[in-house]
């Protein structure tokens, strides 16, 4: 993310094009404060976004470019990252003051073959149910070995 893209979130500073419009994030929150906000792949954001995030996470509010105070106390903020394990984000990327303001950090383990087979079976069962509901008399049978190959793709 470029530095100037941050102005899209909180609004352009006075004298710039779009000053009167406000920011996309701040306008949405001021109109509907009970929302879930997703920042996907936060590690790719410009470093200045962390200053804004620190203010939101610490104080629960943010002042937009027009001087209006936006309350984030009723929002749920989700951040995703592809950095992986705690060793990576602790030492190499995210600053401690940012990490200390997060409520929970969930690390997802890679899916194993058994998990993938369960997911495959679930989707097949949903397909069978849809066919049955639509009165299509099709029988679906997929060999266990074929399912294994499909999950490896």
96-143 residue pLDDT tens: 888 888 888 888 888 888 898 899 899 989 999 999 898 888 888 888
74: domain CATH number is: 3.40.50.300
C-beta neighbour count of 75 within 10 angstroms:
17
Quote the pLDDT of residue 78. Answer: 92
pLDDT band at 146 (very low <50, low <70, confident <90, very high): confident
Number of domains in the chain: 2
**84 found inside a domain:** yes
Q: Do residues 80 and 13 both lie within one domain?
A: yes
Give the global pTM.
0.66
Residue 120 belongs to domain spanning: 113-152
Q: Do residues 37 and 15 both lie within one domain?
A: yes
pLDDT, mean of residues 12-39: 77
Q: Do residues 23 and 93 both lie within one domain?
A: yes
Q: Do residues 118 and 57 both lie within one domain?
A: no
Residue 90 scores a pLDDT above 90: no
Domain boundary among 56, 74, 99: 99
pLDDT, mean of residues 49-65: 85
93-102: which pairs have CB atoms within 8 A and are 24 or more residues apart? 93/43, 94/43, 94/50, 95/50, 97/54, 98/50, 98/53, 98/54, 98/57, 101/54, 101/57, 101/58, 102/57
Q: Do residues 119 and 76 both lie within one domain?
A: no
State how far the Cα of 65 lies from the Cα of 13, in Å rounded to an integer.
6
pLDDT band at 14 (very low <50, low <70, confident <90, very high): low
């Amino acid at each position: 993310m470029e530095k100037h893209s941050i102005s899209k979130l909180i609004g352009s500073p006075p004298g710039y094009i779009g000053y009167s419009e406000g920011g996309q994030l701040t306008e949405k929150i001021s109109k509907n404060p009970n929302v879930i906000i997703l920042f996907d792949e936060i590690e790719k954001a410009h470093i200045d976004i962390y200053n804004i995030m620190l203010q939101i996470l610490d104080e629960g509010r943010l002042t937009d470019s027009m001087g209006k105070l936006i309350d984030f106390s009723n929002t749920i903020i989700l951040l995703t990252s592809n950095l992986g394990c705690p060793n990576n984000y602790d030492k190499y990327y995210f600053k401690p003051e940012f990490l200390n303001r997060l409520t929970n950090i969930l690390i997802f383990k890679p899916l194993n073959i058994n998990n993938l087979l369960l997911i495959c079976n679930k989707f097949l069962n949903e397909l069978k149910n849809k066919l049955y509901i639509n009165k299509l008399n099709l029988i679906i049978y997929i060999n266990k070995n074929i399912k294994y190959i499909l999950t490896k793709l």
